[in-house]
Amino acid sequence: MCGIVGFAGKTKCIPIIYSGLEALEYRGYDSAGIAYIYNDKINIIKEKGKLINLKKKLDFDINSTIAIGHTRWATHGNANITNAHPHQVGKFTVVHNGIIENYIELKNKLSKKGYQFKSETDTEVISALLDYNYKLEKDILKAIDKTKKELIGSFALGILCSDDIKDIYALRYSSPLILASFTNGNFLASDIPAILNYTNKYIILENLEIAKINKETITIYNKDLKEVKHSYHTYNGEKSNVQKNSYEHFMLKEINEEDKVYKNTINSYFDGTLKSLNENFGFLKKYKKIDIVACGSAYHTGVIAKSLLENYANIKVYTEVASEYRYKKCFYDKDTLVILVSQSGETADTLAALRKAKNDKIKTLAIVNAIDSSIAREADYVLYTKAGPEIAVATTKAYLAQLTVFSLITLYLAYINNQLSSKEIDNIIKDIIKLPRLIKKEINNYQIYYNIADKIYENKQVFFIGRGLDYANSLEGALKLKEISYINSVAYQAGELKHGTISLIENKTPVIAIATDEVIIDKTISNIKEVKARNAYVIYVSSINPKDIFYDDFIKIEKVHPILQSILTIIPLQLLAYKVAKNNKCDIDKPRNLAKSVTVE
């Protein structure tokens, strides 16, 4: 959600900024712009829509060596050129990621001082406030410092001032910003992919710190404006992870990486012995109650984890979406652990939920993919998922890695709470070991799912149904389909249909019925027969061979222990969603209106 790249160096900067913005496209955006220094002046070029539109307006040969660039995901005002960043007021030009909550009050105050605004954005107000404070302070650093104290909300900012055309200033609170350098200059950026063409070393700017960047140096000032030094972090992933290679879409590439991602995640915490689980998860022993909090797909892994932890480890779990949880009364006690799940580690609501728990002195565990992200750094404990960078907005491999961590946690807690026999534990371990092969097998069966996708892609609505764990799988299957194909797909508890929803079933309405839970399968099948009796087009997804034919298509998945089953169940649903979206010619990796990293509330 919004991407920032800034560069000050000894070489032409427009190609560098543009390739940085391209690398941040995955975050989601609907307009873009660049401000660059040329002939000692700040020049601004903006365009709505995709980066390619901006590219047509840029002179890649221009002899400019300092610039800030931005991709905007509209929050305040439509996606048009006026609202696109950078925003310039007086001497200050700003790019911004985040939301300023008190921008109306600030805008009113500044309007009374004579400032006029062209856009509907909160960002233009920041530029005006900087300009106003600069007139009072007569010093750029002090003006930024004063401004940061007046802003309420979240902000990562790249700032140019026409009185200092050699430097870029940066400031952040609650939205991420990194700094980096290589032989030809220095960077600021929202995320690591923007710098990977030049370096894999970066500094994390902390909350309320200000950085000054020029072609020679990066200077960081702490919240009291004292100069501080931060050490460099190293990104160890492969650069090819952020490239599509021969795949048509990142989503497809990332699904095809799932066996490797599973292996990497398992190998980080489990060497085949229960001792290794104790070493990695021993800290969990003392918690008797768990709250799992997350958004979107990450929340769905929490729904699955609730079912697993309650049924197999005998631990009480409360799962909630972060945007609700952060404003809810929570019934914590001293044995509560709050688990935050996030791919990006920057999701605003999940971060706020974490801070709420910490505020109440409750211990927090982050299950996070992005190394050094805000959620990872602020939680008491971190377990990293080993999915590597995920570029497609629709999460696939990171979701699977989150499920993998929850499976291991369930196994460990079930073991220490004496809920599993040693024979059952041995069987689970055998399944853990054979899973990469089964994941690959499911991916390789893609043609089966593609054939089904070809039959249903023209429908306006699709239903997903299941019970228990399979209802949780349905939630993710439905989200995957709707977010990339724009088909209205909704998940229901199979037993709940006849209380209203079944009235929506018409001739040939696709119903994707998931049934992997042996204990309750007969009940689910009865519900499937109810929709079939109303002429639904039933796609039956199960690890168990049916006794009679009540479906139109059957997706057979491999059967493993329920603690691990959802890892396999989701793969056909991801590939089915992919092909439906492809048939509908949707922008699969960057679906409309969506952002990869949701850094606003």
Q: How far is the CB of 580 from ligand M6R (least distance, A)?
A: 15
Nearer to ligand M6R by Cβ, of 145 and 346: the residue is: 346
| Residue pair 154/348 in contact by the 8 Å Cβ criterion | yes
Which of 344, 407, 474, 566 is close enough to bind ligand M6R by CB under 6 A? 344
Q: How far is the CB of 291 from ligand M6R (least distance, A)?
A: 16
Q: Are strands 185-189 and 3-9 parallel, antiparallel or unpaired?
A: antiparallel
Q: How far is the CB of 367 from ligand M6R (least distance, A)?
A: 10
Q: How far apart are CA 386 and CA 265, in angstroms?
A: 5
| Contact letters for ligand M6R, residues 242-281 (x by CB under 6 A) | ----------------------------------------
Nearer to ligand M6R by Cβ, of 147 and 344: the residue is: 344
Closest CA to 70 of 91, 87, 82: 87
Q: How far apart are CA 6 and CA 187, in angstroms?
A: 5
Q: Which residue is nearest to ligand M6R (CB)?
A: 296
Identity of residue 43: N
Rg (CA), the chain: 25
Q: How far apart are CA 372 and CA 241, in angstroms?
A: 18
| Contact letters for ligand M6R, residues 459-478 (x by CB under 6 A) | --------------------
**Buried b vs exposed e over 11-43: b needs ≥16 C-beta within 10 Å?**
ebbbebbbbbbbbbbbbbbbbbbbbbbbeeebe
Three-state SS for 310?
helix
Q: Which of residues 290-309 bind ligand M6R (CB under 6 A)?
A: 295-298
- Work out whether 395 is an interface residue with ligand M6R (CB under 6 A): yes
Using the structure block, give the residue that is written with the tokens 């699955």: 304
Q: How far apart are CA 360 and CA 435, in angstroms?
A: 40
Q: How far is the CB of 326 from ligand M6R (least distance, A)?
A: 13
Query: What is the arrangement of strands in the sheet containing 164-173, beginning at the earlier edge strand?
Result: 87-89, 92-100, 153-161, 164-173, 210-213, 218-221, 227-228
Which of 64, 119, 154, 347 is close enough to bind ligand M6R by CB under 6 A? 347
Q: How far is the CB of 345 from ligand M6R (least distance, A)?
A: 7
Q: How far is the CB of 472 from ligand M6R (least distance, A)?
A: 14
Three-state SS for 369-437 is CCCCCHHHHHCCEEEECCCCCCCCCCCCHHHHHHHHHHHHHHHHHHHHCCCCCHHHHHHHHHHHHHHHH
Nearer to ligand M6R by Cβ, of 159 and 252: the residue is: 252
Nearer to ligand M6R by Cβ, of 210 and 479: the residue is: 479
- Work out whether 598 is an interface residue with ligand M6R (CB under 6 A): yes
Half-sphere exposure of 595 (CA within 13 A, CB side): 25
Which of 127, 186, 280, 342 is close enough to bind ligand M6R by CB under 6 A? 342
Q: How many residues does the chain have?
A: 601
Q: How far apart are CA 274 and CA 301, in angstroms?
A: 23
Which of 350, 364, 542, 565 is close enough to bind ligand M6R by CB under 6 A? 350
Q: How far apart are CA 545 and CA 554, in angstroms?
A: 9
* Contacts of the segment 416-424: beta carbons below 8 A, 24+ positions apart: 416/278, 416/285, 417/313, 417/314, 417/315, 419/312, 419/313, 419/314, 420/312, 424/561
Using CB under 6 A, count the residues that bind ligand M6R.
Answer: 17
- Work out whether 401 is an interface residue with ligand M6R (CB under 6 A): no
Which of 93, 323, 343, 404 is close enough to bind ligand M6R by CB under 6 A? 343
Q: How far is CA 532 from CA 230, 497, 538, 598, in A?
A: 63, 13, 7, 39
Q: How far is the CB of 400 from ligand M6R (least distance, A)?
A: 12
Nearer to ligand M6R by Cβ, of 307 and 597: the residue is: 597
Nearer to ligand M6R by Cβ, of 470 and 589: the residue is: 589
Binding piece for ligand M6R, criterion CB under 6 A, among 282-290, 387-395, 502-510, 534-542? 387-395
Which of 22, 258, 483, 589 is close enough to bind ligand M6R by CB under 6 A? 483
Q: How far is the CB of 96 from ligand M6R (least distance, A)?
A: 20
Nearer to ligand M6R by Cβ, of 297 and 410: the residue is: 297
Nearer to ligand M6R by Cβ, of 1 and 68: the residue is: 1
Token readout for 479 is: 């989200």
Half-sphere exposure of 253 (CA within 13 A, CB side): 20
Binding piece for ligand M6R, criterion CB under 6 A, among 101-109, 131-139, 177-185, 392-400? 392-400
Q: How far is CA 213 from CA 183, 226, 341, 547, in A?
A: 14, 16, 34, 68
Which of 179, 255, 277, 393 is close enough to bind ligand M6R by CB under 6 A? 393
- Work out whether 394 is an interface residue with ligand M6R (CB under 6 A): yes
Q: Which residues are known catalytic residues? A: 2, 596
Nearer to ligand M6R by Cβ, of 147 and 395: the residue is: 395
Binding piece for ligand M6R, criterion CB under 6 A, among 127-135, 390-398, 439-447, 462-470? 390-398
Binding piece for ligand M6R, criterion CB under 6 A, among 135-143, 156-164, 222-230, 344-352? 344-352
Contact residues for ligand M6R (CB under 6 A)?
Answer: 295-298, 342-344, 347, 350, 393-395, 479, 483, 594, 597-598
